[in-house]
Amino acid sequence: MATLGVAASAMAVAYTQAVGKTATLEPEGTMKRLLVGLFLCASVVGAGEREAVLGFWHTPPDAKNGAAIVEIRQKGEGLSGRIVWLEKPVYPPDHPAAGKPKVDRENPDPNLRTRPVMGLEILTGFRWDGKRWVDGEIYDPVSGNTYRATITLEGQDRLRLRGYVGIPLLGRTEVWTR
């Protein structure tokens, strides 16, 4: 309750500075002003949480392909994520395309199999539900498969990405870090 009193006092000071009139905390109208102020503060915090996912994220490495960095950006009201760095950007010496940049060769669409993996958009269609990013898709260029996905932040430096087929129960979670 002391926190609400501090918030109300801070709002009264801000009101006084902005309007030039002294704000009184009289019983009538106080609750309404307090609720409006708290709603505005919560809206700002919510917007910050929504945008906190934006930036560069390191994927966990795997033995064959190494790690990657994905840049997550705002795209309209949703999110987009593209690969901006690969630990192993070229095919290994034992591969038929040895030394050449990796391409999206497993894509189910033959017309897309020559596009470079570097710069490839792999996250699309996410929408904010007030707590996390949902209803998105993640494309896996290693397998050529696309999965439904959700993104949840765990603090500022950890992102949980859940890819699944059908329902989230049938999926896999990766933790990406900044």
**Across residues 112-138, what is the average pLDDT?**
97
Res 13 pLDDT > 70: no
DSSP state for residue 112 in the 8-state scheme = G
At residue 11, the pLDDT reads 43
Res 48 pLDDT > 90: no
Which 3 state secondary structure label does DSSP give 111? helix
Judge whether 11 and 33 are in contact, CB under 8 Å.
Answer: yes
Q: What is the pLDDT of residues 21-40, one digit of tens each?
A: 554 444 555 444 433 343 43
Residues 104, 12: Cα–Cα separation, whole Å: 58
At residue 81, the pLDDT reads 98
Which 3 state secondary structure label does DSSP give 160? strand
Res 119 pLDDT > 80: yes
Residues in the chain: 178
At residue 91, the pLDDT reads 96
**Burial, 57: exposed, middle or buried (Cβ in 10 Å; 0-12, 13-18, 19+)?**
buried
Res 92 pLDDT > 50: yes
At residue 64, the pLDDT reads 83
At residue 17, the pLDDT reads 54
Of the chain, the end-to-end C-alpha distance in Å amounts to 36
**Across residues 116-137, what is the average pLDDT?**
97
Least confident of 45-49, 91-95, 98-102: 45-49
Judge whether 8 and 30 are in contact, CB under 8 Å.
Answer: yes
Alpha helices in 66-152 (DSSP H): none
Judge whether 65 and 88 are in contact, CB under 8 Å.
Answer: yes
18 phi and psi, to 5 degrees?
-75, -40
Res 45 pLDDT > 60: no
